[in-house]
Amino acid sequence: MDDNVRHKPVHADNLPKPVGPYSPATVLNGLIFVSGQGATDPHSGSLSGPDVESQTAQVLRNIEAILHAAGSDLQHVLRCNVYLIDISEFAKMNAVYEKTFGKNRPARTTVAVAALPGKGLRVEIDAIAYTK
């Protein structure tokens, strides 16, 4: 890696393993850019469940673990992008999202997509946060 590059990847043993040539997150100047996360449980390697509620909860746990490894947490999230297979599941996803974030209200975009990379995957979320 070039010595002039100031960004660094985030890695830890307890994080979900990327399914491609990318890092779970990258940090630059106190900002943490979290890659899109699916609902795979990092301990079992299996999808957390068939429904959007259980999957949203697991996605946010995955993001939280990545943020902890980077020196942050969900209360420091500034922005999220949410990708849903079925936009009619928005309210169900949103209820889990709201409960998980509590009083923090990151900026957010939610879109419906034709497919996600993983059999049975209903939701994917990425995030931008800052270090504590």
At which residue do the structure tokens 């909860």 appear? 57
pLDDT per residue over 25-70, tens digit each?
Answer: 999 999 999 999 999 999 898 999 999 999 999 999 999 999 999 9
Q: Strand 107-112 to strand 25-28: parallel, antiparallel, or no bridges (unpaired)?
A: unpaired
pTM of the model: 0.93
Length of the chain in terms of residues written: 132
Q: Domains (ranges, CATH) in the chain?
A: 8-130 (3.30.1330.40)
pLDDT band at 2 (very low <50, low <70, confident <90, very high): low
Answer positive or negative: Cα dihedral of 67, 125, 122, 94.
positive
